[in-house]
């Protein structure tokens, strides 16, 4: 097909604004997928994605659409992830496009991620097609949406297409707009082959399957290729398109989106955003926008049963095959035994990986308090990076500690501004700009330490604003802060898995909270248990687990000793499943429960 009859576009939206449902309608309308085989949310293939209603891995798909003028146009749709943790993946998917359908929920209006995604699309020079979705909802507020479109995003209201993914309204209008408003494939005048990697998945039989957009030249089986970021060489085994399942083709050319299989097995060797070129006739310049992805959040993952260590290791290895943004290396904890230090893009990414280990690899795990990467300048001028509180040097050796921050954009209804400013302050953040979006909404721009938003910032934002607030963020600078390590002790024994790095101003409150929560979770024992928080040698907070009051079965006769004994054995086994710190048994889920806010 002629390059000029190809269109590459993406659908971008705030979480839950109906992106995946709309994609399904486009597939149906272009008969790419038979309606009968179309399970709801076709493109989300992971169970977890379907359950959580979010897309984690983006799935491209190629559709052939016969437009009103009669021409058949090849439409390549990139369905992007909708969560901030995966914003780099979003940016790479966008980089593979010339246009974007910007979806706005008619009942929710413009939200923080709508703005962030629109800005991302604009920065990539994409043609934007605004679509107001879910217009058939009773709570739809069309007028407000159109006004927000002009006021906040500076997009003319008359450009907007009204649609409903659910009932199929406006689907054809959207397809027509993609053909007429999205530019023809760009950068196809380069003489050498340049192919963008925007994702990859692992296949047990074929190794890494690389999702690509070909910008110029051609790529086909047998080609010797070169990864431009690190000069890795490989040979192409297979190329093909998604329609929506993988279908082999002879080659991929300028303007095509598809997949590539080469003799690279590990997904971790594939760098998202990298440019592939032909090794024989290499391009001199990479496609723009490549970044090395680095984990932002770290946490220890340990098997509940130490005998599951190998199983966990194998599971992590397989997960990494499919997820280059996830990293792990072995570590050990006094409290938890042998396990792994794992790095994630963000908290959602962390939760998803943990859940997948449990479900797909059937290993019960304990995870430790998540940590960001601190930069510690030591007295001897050496700077080290610390992602595990245990590794924080002795305070006497520390000159200063820097912590990562984020630049957050928060959208909220006006009436919650006081509470949200308090929340930001509570999280040690600074709000440096407040802007009125329309009569009823505000946009706050602030800088907040990353470690403060790890646990519950988004949850609290949502609960304060009754679900109407939204947030987007990007990484900011490292900033000096007064940080210390706080240890949690159970009956005098330090439980390293609970150690965390906290700001001195917040240590007491945080220590008290941790102690109290842990004291609630630890079941009554024969003896009283003290749960203490300490900085250095100083106890700063304490809570008690009172001793068990009564545990005795009155009836024990009729000679049935074995029944009674079995009962005791069962209780004994129950205790064995817990983590024993000194003589205190801690239920495995305590570690997670302590971290979750109420």
Partner 1 sequence: MEKFDKMAKLRGDSLGIYLHVPFCSTTCDFCAFYQEAPRRQGIVEYLDGIDRELSLIEAPEKKVDTCFWGGGTPGLLPAGDLDRLCKAVVSKFGQPQHEWTVEMAPSSVRKDKLQALKDNGVTRISMGVQSWDDGLLESLGRLHTSKLARKALDLVQEVGFESINLDLIFAIPGQTAEQWRSDLSKTLSLGIDHISTYCLTFEEDTALYVKLSEGKVSIDTEKETAFYRVSWEETERAGFEQYEISNYAKKGHECLHNLNTWRMDEWIGVGPSAASQSELKRYSNPADLKNWLGDLKEGRRGLASEPEVLDAGILFEDCLIFGLRMNEGVNLDTLKNRFGRDLPESVKDSMEQLEGEGKLVKEGGKLRLTGEGRLVADAIGTELLGRFSD
Q: Which residue ranges make up the site for partner 1 (CB under 8 A)?
A: 525-527, 547-565, 567-569, 571-572, 575-576, 583
Of the pair 162, 490, the CB lying nearest partner 1 is at 490
Compute the distance between CA of residue 511 and CA of residue 463 in angstroms, rounded to an integer: 24
Cβ count within 10 A of residue 39: 10
Could you tell me the smallest distance in angstroms from the CB atom of residue 572 to partner 1? 5
The residue (of 537 and 559) whose beta carbon lies closer to partner 1 is 559
Nearer to partner 1, 509 or 547 (CB): 547
CB of 371 to partner 1, least distance (A): 34
Give min distance, CB of 366 to partner 1, in A: 21
CB of 418 to partner 1, least distance (A): 41
* Residue reference for tokens 């709000």: 431
Residue written as token pair 């190794």: 207
Nearest-angstrom CA–CA distance, 76 and 89 = 17
Q: Measured from the CB atom, is 439 or 559 closer to partner 1?
A: 559
d(CA 347, CA 298): 9
Cβ 576 to partner 1 shortest distance, Å: 7
167 vs 580 by CB, closer to partner 1: 580
Give the nearest distance from C-beta 491 to partner 1 in angstroms: 11
Cα separation of 458 and 469, whole Å? 9
Q: Which is nearer to partner 1, 539 or 556 (CB)?
A: 556
Provide CB contacts within 8 A for 425, sequence distance 6+.
none
What is the side-by-side strand order in the sheet with 6-13?
59-66, 72-79, 6-13, 99-105, 127-133, 161-162
Tokens 């989300």, residue located: 44
Beta pairing partners, 493: 490
Closer residue to partner 1 in complex, CB, 3/491: 491
The residue (of 45 and 585) whose beta carbon lies closer to partner 1 is 585
Quick check: 8 and 177 in contact, CB under 8 A? Answer: no
Neighbours of 561 (CB within 10 A): 10
Label the pairing between strands 99-105 and 483-490: unpaired
> Coil, strand or helix: which one is 105?
strand
Q: Give the span between the Cα atoms of 441 and 445, in whole angstroms.
A: 13
């Amino acid at each position: 097909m002629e390059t000029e009859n190809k269109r590459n576009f993406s659908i971008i939206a705030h979480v839950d604004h109906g992106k995946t449902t709309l994609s399904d309608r486009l597939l149906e309308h272009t008969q790419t997928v038979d309606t009968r085989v179309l399970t709801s949310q076709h493109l989300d293939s992971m169970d977890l994605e379907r359950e959580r209603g979010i897309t984690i891995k983006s799935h491209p798909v190629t559709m052939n659409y016969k437009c009103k003028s009669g021409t058949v146009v090849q439409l390549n749709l990139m369905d992007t992830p909708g969560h901030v943790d995966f914003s780099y993946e979003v940016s790479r998917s966008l980089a593979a496009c010339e246009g974007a359908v910007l979806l706005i929920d008619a009942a929710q209006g413009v939200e923080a991620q709508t703005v962030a995604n629109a800005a991302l699309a604009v920065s990539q020079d994409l043609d934007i097609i605004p679509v107001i979705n879910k217009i058939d909802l009773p709570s739809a507020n069309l007028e407000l949406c159109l006004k927000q479109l002009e006021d906040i995003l500076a997009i003319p209201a008359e450009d907007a297409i009204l649609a409903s993914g659910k009932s199929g309204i406006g689907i054809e209008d959207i397809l027509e707009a993609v053909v007429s408003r999205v530019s023809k494939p760009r950068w196809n005048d380069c003489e050498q082959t340049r192919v963008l990697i925007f994702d990859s998945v692992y296949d047990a039989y074929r190794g890494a399957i690389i999702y690509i957009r070909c910008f110029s030249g051609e790529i086909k089986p047998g080609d010797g290729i070169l990864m431009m970021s690190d000069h890795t060489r490989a040979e192409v085994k297979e190329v093909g398109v998604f329609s929506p399942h993988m279908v082999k083709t002879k080659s991929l050319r300028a303007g095509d989106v598809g997949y590539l299989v080469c003799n690279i097995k590990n997904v971790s060797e594939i760098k998202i955003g990298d440019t592939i070129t032909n090794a024989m006739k290499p391009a001199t310049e990479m496609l723009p926008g490549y970044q090395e992805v680095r984990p932002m959040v770290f946490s220890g993952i340990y098997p509940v049963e130490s005998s599951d260590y190998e199983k966990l290791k194998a599971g992590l290895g397989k997960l990494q095959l499919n997820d280059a943004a996830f990293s792990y290396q072995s570590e050990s904890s006094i409290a938890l035994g042998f396990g792994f230090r794992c790095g994630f893009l963000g908290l959602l990414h962390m939760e998803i990986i943990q859940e997948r280990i449990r479900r797909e690899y059937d290993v019960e795990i304990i995870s430790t308090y998540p940590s960001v990467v601190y930069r510690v300048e030591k007295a001897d001028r050496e700077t080290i990076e610390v992602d595990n509180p245990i590794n924080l040097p002795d305070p006497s050796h520390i000159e200063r500690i820097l912590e990562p921050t984020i630049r957050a954009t928060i959208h909220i209804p006006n009436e919650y501004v006081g509470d949200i400013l308090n929340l930001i302050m509570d999280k040690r953040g600074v709000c440096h700009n407040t802007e009125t979006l329309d009569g009823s909404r505000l946009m706050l721009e602030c800088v907040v330490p990353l470690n403060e938003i790890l646990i519950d910032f988004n949850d609290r934002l949502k609960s304060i604003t009754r679900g109407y607030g939204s947030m987007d963020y990007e990484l900011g600078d490292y900033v000096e802060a007064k940080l210390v390590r706080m240890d949690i002790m159970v009956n005098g024994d330090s439980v390293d898995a609970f150690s965390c790095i906290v700001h001195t101003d917040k240590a007491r409150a945080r220590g008290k909270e941790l102690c109290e929560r842990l004291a609630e979770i630890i079941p009554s024992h024969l003896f009283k248990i003290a749960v203490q928080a300490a900085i250095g040698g100083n106890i700063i907070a304490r809570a008690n687990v009172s001793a068990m009051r009564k545990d005795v079965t009155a009836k024990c006769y009729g000679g049935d000793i074995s029944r009674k004994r079995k009962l005791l054995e069962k209780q004994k086994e129950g205790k064995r499943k817990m983590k024993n710190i000194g003589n205190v048994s801690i239920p495995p889920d305590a570690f997670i429960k302590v971290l979750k806010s109420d």
